[in-house]
Amino acid sequence: MKKTKLLVMFGGQSTEHEISCISAGTVLRNIDFDRFEVKACGITKEGDFINMAGENGNIDVESIVSEKWAAVPDGEKRGIAPAVDTIYRCDVVFPVMHGIMAEDGSIQGLLSVLGKPFVGAGILSSAVCMDKVYTKIILKEAGIPVVPSVTVERRDLADMDAIRKEIAEKIGYPCFVKPSNSGSSVGAFKVTAESDIGGSVTEAARYDRKVLVEKYIPAREIECAVLGNREPKAATPGEIISTSEFYDYDDKYINGTSSTRIPADISEADRELIKKLAVRAYIALDCEGLARVDFFKDRETGEIYLNEINTIPGFTSISMYPKMWENEGLSIKDLITELVDLAILSKKENSRTI
């Protein structure tokens, strides 16, 4: 059987560059090389495209994970033209990339222009799901419960008194402050007093012109993996057991002290409700391929809120998305194969010529 030519893209210019490289390493170690002919292309933090030497099992995965691949002389760095040629020569692309300029529709737009099928959501869905403010707008319209919030624009920072007043009236304290377009909890803060809100909002605005301020929920963090195109299915939800006050960047990737529980220790009724809400959100936001849908379960009231949806979830050793499907009996190797098959099917389903 002729092998499918698969290109794995990784890196990028977002704050989640390092996580992308680690995720790409996991994917490259678990691809079915009997089924796929594999190449890899990295994007540095400066935006240089670098085609990795070798293919299949000969790709230097350790160099990708350790980021040694990006440390090449300037004269050897390649622009987008050679990368475009590599993309043209492949059958399908797996963009294992997180954050802005990657998961937000940017790479999806490039691949769409080049006419190549790719793993994950399309341009619109990727962009909307990356933007927490607009995600909430659509989820509210779909009748899916979300945490009450206030949006602060960077241009409004000059009138901090008005910002403090709106937050106090609509949200109160404590609250969470986060950039609308960011991931891995980068730029996110818990604010317990009104006197601290100015500095936190200003810092979060460094990462995006829109800042989301959400009501504090004493929550357990429940995650649900969704897989599919037109008929998506949800895995049994899992739970993040964080050792920090909230599941921040350090707790996710540096301290290594957080843990996971699959299935989540919640009632069967709550598990089914979360799976149902995850699929509803997935469809409402026009997702394809895969997504990890994150929920809060209020420890005091038992209420469940949808927090956010990630269209290219992590594939690191601690990442919940592949772990939840492994719990369902789907190995990471078979999961990757199914994602590539869904990407090829999506290209046909979304064709504008019937």
Provide the pLDDT for residue 297.
98
The answer to whether residue 354 is domain-embedded is no
12 plus 93 within the same structural domain: yes
pLDDT single digits (tens) 43-90: 999 898 998 866 665 788 999 998 888 776 555 556 788 889 999 999
Average of pLDDT values for 300-304? Answer: 97
Whether the per-residue pLDDT at 1 is higher than 80: the answer is no
244 plus 321 within the same structural domain: yes
The answer to whether residue 309 is domain-embedded is yes
Whether omega for the bond prior to residue 82 falls within 30 degrees of 0, making it cis, is: no
CATH number at residue 50: 3.40.50.20
In the block, tokens 């390649």 appear at: 78
Provide the pLDDT for residue 259.
86
Instruction: Provide the 3-class DSSP secondary structure of residue 284.
Output: helix
Residue after which a domain boundary falls, among 215, 250, 269: 215
More confident residue, 78 or 263: 263
229 plus 177 within the same structural domain: no
Provide the pLDDT for residue 290.
98
273 plus 302 within the same structural domain: yes
269 plus 335 within the same structural domain: yes
Residues in CB range of 210: below 8 A, 6 or more apart: 131, 133, 151, 152, 153, 154, 179, 180, 181
Average of pLDDT values for 220-249? Answer: 87
Whether the per-residue pLDDT at 258 is higher than 80: the answer is no
Provide the pLDDT for residue 256.
56
114 plus 208 within the same structural domain: no
141 plus 249 within the same structural domain: yes
225 plus 335 within the same structural domain: yes
The answer to whether residue 203 is domain-embedded is yes
318 plus 200 within the same structural domain: no
Query: φ and ψ at 245, to 5 degrees?
Result: -65, -35
CATH number at residue 178: 3.30.1490.20
- Pairwise CA distance, residues 21 & 67, whole Å: 7
Alpha-carbon dihedral of residues 207, 178, 323, 121, nearest 10 degrees? Answer: -60
pLDDT single digits (tens) 31-40: 999 999 999 9
The answer to whether residue 124 is domain-embedded is no
Residue 229, token pair as written in the block: 């195109």
Structurally, how many domains does the chain consist of? 3
- Residue 108's H or E segment, with its range, is helix 106-113
The answer to whether residue 299 is domain-embedded is yes
193 plus 235 within the same structural domain: no
Provide the pLDDT for residue 162.
96
Alpha helix positions (H), 221-330: 249, 268-284, 320-327
Residue after which a domain boundary falls, among 190, 215, 240: 215
Query: φ and ψ at 49, to 5 degrees?
Result: -95, 130
139 plus 283 within the same structural domain: yes
Its domain, for residue 206, covers 149-215
Percent of the chain with pLDDT over 70: 91
Identify which of 252, 327, 321, 311 has the alpha carbon closest to the alpha carbon of residue 108: 311
Provide the pLDDT for residue 253.
47
pLDDT single digits (tens) 197-211: 999 999 999 989 999
pLDDT single digits (tens) 86-139: 999 999 999 999 998 999 999 999 999 999 999 999 999 999 999 999 999 999
207 plus 162 within the same structural domain: yes
Whether the per-residue pLDDT at 188 is higher than 70: the answer is yes
Report the mean per-residue pLDDT for the chain: 91
Whether the per-residue pLDDT at 248 is higher than 70: the answer is no
More confident residue, 284 or 353: 284
